[in-house]
Chains A and B, each alone.
Chain A
């Protein structure tokens, strides 16, 4: 183990030498962010290797306009909002789901729980707050399929599902991005497969390394990126191959493709990303909250003072936000990056303040 760590560090040192400048690696997975902090990985790698927390937390990238619509729906007497717990405390324009009309809001562990609310409350429309990346989308789709099978008329989903690869491409297309490589998400990759990152290595020539969550995987993932940078190559490498297959989970992919299609949509901080959001196909409009409630578009809104957007793009780190650890703490979150336990600001708050970097 020590030998492996030493080897990894040597590679990182050589890469820093060879590049003659900082190396910026973006992790696109909230669980990576947390694991990197918990294990103190930042303080064990060379100073010149910078880890940027990218848009890897579904809660953090959900646009405020989306949350405001959910909060509006929660005020209706004829609706029940079914949401994963993570979304409860995300602040919108006027409070959060936790503070507004709590009685209409139910926390669910799975989409199946949301269906159950629909079965038990035939006089209300259950709106499933469908957020999450490729890991979570199939669960939503299975619920829609089940609702269709059962002829449930009072179940709709409000899709805020996001696609990771288009977001990575959007980040790299950004003028002032400084990303040299990606540490690719473990669980998303289970679904989409490691080969899904091919377009990024081909089009943008940036290494993409899929890693799991253990410290050793993370360190070796960073080292593998350094190796590629030294050799001036960009490849897809998967260190998490015990679970991630090149082609991903085909059953899940087929299901999602049957019911949903990519559309343009807003991401917090990243703006509108072409084909970066998933919407239900027209033939399943009866299960689409947007159609049911005549919502035409999810408007782009940003919270004043909160710099989550710049953090998600890797432009600044949380302590550079003027509200961090002052007005904004996990108990009084101003922005979503502080709400979600996988958010960059929350991870910095909990662990980063006592670490060197």
Chain B
């Protein structure tokens, strides 16, 4: 539940924003990070941007999430649990 996902801000009006993470779009608030601008990458937690991150950090995390998703997928196709 403490998970935070990096996402790029693709629309911003006041403190309402739309953010894109790996193609998924979310309505978020930037109330807690008033300094962010259109195009910035932020970490999103429970519908709020909590910090700005740089491109490299975001890419690493996206990659990690993709790997995890892949693992989970493989996991599902395994027969029985051990």
Contact = CB atoms under 8 A, between A and B. Distances in A.
A255 interface: yes
A328 to B, nearest CB: 14
Interface in B44-81: 45-48, 50-54, 56-57, 60-61, 64, 68, 71
A243 B45 CA distance: 14
Which of B1, B4, B43, B68 is packed against the most chain A CB atoms within 10 Å?
B1
A111 B60 CA distance: 28
A144 to B, nearest CB: 12
B2 A31 contact: yes
Interface string B10-24: 000000000000000
Contact of A135 (B2, B29, B47, B54): B2
A188 B2 contact: yes
Contacts of B31: 138, 142, 251, 255
Given A214-B60, A251-B33, A58 B1 contact: yes
A37 to B, nearest CB: 11
A145 B48 CA distance: 15
Contacts of A340: 1
Contacts of B32: 138, 142, 249, 251-252, 255
B47 A109 contact: yes
B39 interface: no
Interface string A116-147: 00000000000000011101101100100000
A31 B5 CA distance: 12
Nearest to B54: A242
Nearest to B56: A242
Given A213-B64, A214-B64, A251-B32, A136 B47 contact: no
Given A188-B2, A251-B32, A84 B53 contact: no
Nearest to A251: B32
Contacts of A242: 53-54, 56-57
Contacts, number: 97
Contacts of B33: 249, 251
B3 to A, nearest CB: 6
A269 interface: no
Q: Select the residue from A56, A84, A139, A244 with max chain B CB neighbours within 10 A.
A: A139
B2 A185 contact: yes
A86 B45 CA distance: 14
B23 to A, nearest CB: 18
B29 A136 contact: no
A190 interface: yes
B41 to A, nearest CB: 11
Contacts of A131: 1
A111 B31 CA distance: 13
A89 interface: no
A354 interface: yes
Interface string A197-220: 000000000000000011000000
Interface of A: 29-31, 38, 56-59, 84, 86, 109-113, 131-133, 135-136, 138-139, 142, 185, 187-188, 190-191, 213-214, 242-244, 249, 251-252, 255, 340, 342, 353-354
17 contacts: A30-B1, A31-B2, A31-B3, A38-B68, A84-B1, A109-B47, A110-B47, A132-B1, A138-B50, A139-B46, A142-B32, A190-B51, A242-B54, A243-B43, A251-B33, A251-B34, A353-B82
